[in-house]
Structure 1
Amino acid sequence: MIGLSIIVATYNRSAYLLRTLDSLARQTLSPERFEIVVVDNNSTDDTPAVCEAFAEAHPELRLRRVMEPSQGISFARNRGIAESRGACIVFIDDDEEAGVRWAESYFRFFDEHPGFDAAGGAVVPVYEAPLPRWYSHYIEKMITGVMDMGPRIVPFRGKRYPGVGNSGFRRSLFDRFGNFDTALGRSGTNPMGGEEKDFAARLRAGGVRYYYIPDAEIYHITPAYKLSETYFARLSRMIGVSERVRTRNEGSASYARRLFAEAVKWGGTLVLSAGYLLRLRPRKALYLLRMRRNITCGLLTGR
């Protein structure tokens, strides 16, 4: 029986995808325990050839490539769920490399904790260019999803949740709570988000808790363009847009609460920026304020 279905949604990143697949081929978990479903979301590069060549070079792996014609990561992940056969479903993105114990850590977690249904692991950024002077921990979290919650399995507290790019779920959760909202999430080169937060909120409302698995570690490859001011501005703006779409879909009360939360976040941002100024790091302070401004503008205007 297949224990894990590993889903990799991909779009025009064949070189990075190959690194992802290479890391999956090095897993300590026996290949009999998992399958790999690559969901090609209309790639125009050599992704099909890369997948075919990799499958031929690794006949021990259960690797399939399926097509999803509707553009967007939520469509692609939902297609992966439909195509998968495992009792548990684990996601990794096409710009990430899995640590060698990644799949085994998820497999053992679900096998040894029958009452736990959702989990996420550590995220370590790998930079392909020098960091800009304005880069801070808070901007790093926005761009890379960096996560380290220590050496033990622990529950995520409050409203915190892992990014889907390193997360695992029992299949039954999708039957109970539905799939990812296709009105949200990255589409092509548009960095809109919100689908992860929306899904996590549904699980939380249903009493499901996420657990952190420290050994389920991935390395998030961050290319130079993601360290540019242009990408920073667009990503932060689209965070606000996705929050507007997500909360307005839930109703006017949800949107009003999010506006109030944004006002509170402004208070925190001002305090953090003042701290950078006191430490003579004015560019970090400035870009933290710009991040908050961009998110607020997206939240208010939807663009």
Structure 2
Amino acid sequence: MPRLSLIVATYNRAEQLLTTLWSVAAQTAPAAEWECVVVDNNSTDDTAARFEEFLSAHPGLPLRRVSETRQGLSWARNRGIAETTGDIVAIIDDDERIVPEFIAAYIAFFDAHPSVASAGGPIVAEYPAGRPAWMSRYTERPIANPIDLGPTPRPFPRGRIPGGGNMALRRTALGRYGAFDPQLGRRGARLLGGEESDLFARLRRGGEQCWYVPGAVMYHIIPPSKLTRGYFDRLCRNIGVSQRTRAAIDGGLLRLWTGEAAKWCATLGIALGYCLTGRVRRAAWLVRMRRQITAGLLTSAE
């Protein structure tokens, strides 16, 4: 039985998925210690055919594909969890590549920390067409969610959680606290989220630890299509929708709006600082982000 099960949910990203799979094929961990399951969530492109071509070229790879017809990232990830057997469940996305030591780093970490229920690794944003000048570390978060907590393992700081495309959990923790809530997360082209925050909030309320694993590095590949004004607006607006959905589930709507007011104060202060130092475009996009998130708190998903 494999030690670690790697899950990759995919939807209409055949070309990007191949980049991810090449990085999976390059893992240094012995093949007997892990498995990788690709969950095809109703793709209408040539994902199935491209996957089979890749699998034929790598006959010794512990890799297989399953289908999940219920549309949504949470449904797909939950299907992957149900289809696998490893004591450790690692989850990545189909628009990234992982370093060769990725799986080995998670196995070694959980072996060395038997009381830790979950973990996450560094996320490095990669911009094939270049990082846009308007982007600040604040407006980069919803697009790429870069994470770097240093060179040594440590607990995640309060208020921080692993990125959705680079996280690992003990299967026992998923059995105890449940997996991903299908009310949250991407659904086809709808840019909803919040499913990771919901899961890690349940773990935190249960007193479980979540640690940072520096050796489990993931590169998040950001294409030019994710750097347009239209995509950014939709993404940020749906962050607001997702936050409102989570707050309604948890009964935290008053806390949500109080927090949003505080974030507006911080946003305007940071934007003013950018303007005073000549970085007007960064200020404008930062205010744009906050405005769209607030709009999402008041509207429905797109």
Q: Give the TM-score normalised by structure 1.
A: 0.97
Give the Cα–Cα distance (whole angstroms) in 2 for the partners of residues 21 and 243 of structure 1: 32
Residue among 272, 275, 291 paired with 1:274: 272
Q: Which amino acid aligns with 1:201?
A: A
Give the Cα–Cα distance (whole angstroms) in 2 for the partners of residues 166 and 131 of structure 1: 21
Matching residue of 1:169: 169
Matching residue of 1:156: 156
Query: Are residues 1:181 and 2:181 paired?
Result: yes
Question: Structure 2: which 5+ runs fail to align?
Answer: none
1:266-286 C-alpha deviation (Å, 9 max, x unpaired): 111111111101110111101
- Shift in Å at residue 132 of structure 1? 3.0
Q: Which amino acid aligns with 1:75?
A: W
Matching residue of 2:201: 201
Matching residue of 1:297: 295
Give the Cα–Cα distance (whole angstroms) in 1 for the partners of residues 62 and 298 of structure 2: 46
Q: Secondary structure at the match of 1:175?
A: helix
Q: After the TM superposition, which residues 81-230 of structure 1 pair with which residues of structure 2 at under 5 Å, given as runs?
A: 81-230=81-230
- Shift in Å at residue 58 of structure 1? 1.4
**2:6–2:34 Cα contact (<8 Å) kept:** yes
Residue among 283, 286, 290 paired with 2:284: 286
- Shift in Å at residue 85 of structure 1? 1.0
**1:126–1:220 Cα contact (<8 Å) kept:** yes
- Shift in Å at residue 180 of structure 1? 0.4
**2:123–2:163 Cα contact (<8 Å) kept:** no
**2:91–2:166 Cα contact (<8 Å) kept:** yes
Give the Cα–Cα distance (whole angstroms) in 1 for the partners of residues 45 and 56 of structure 2: 19
1:251-275 C-alpha deviation (Å, 9 max, x unpaired): 2xx1110110111111111111111
- Shift in Å at residue 300 of structure 1? 2.6
Give the Cα–Cα distance (whole angstroms) in 2 for the partners of residues 12 and 277 of structure 1: 40
Give the Cα–Cα distance (whole angstroms) in 1 for the partners of residues 127 and 245 of structure 2: 31
Matching residue of 2:9: 9
Give the Cα–Cα distance (whole angstroms) in 2 for the partners of residues 12 and 170 of structure 1: 29
Q: Secondary structure at the match of 2:148?
A: coil
Question: Structure 1: which 5+ runs fail to align?
Answer: none
CA RMSD of aligned residues (A): 1.0
Q: Secondary structure at the match of 1:216?
A: coil
Matching residue of 2:49: 49
Give the Cα–Cα distance (whole angstroms) in 1 for the partners of residues 244 and 87 of structure 2: 34
Q: Which stretches of structure 1, 4 residues or longer, exceed 4 Å deviation after superposition? A: none
**1:240–1:302 Cα contact (<8 Å) kept:** no
- Shift in Å at residue 131 of structure 1? 3.0
Q: Secondary structure at the match of 2:217?
A: strand
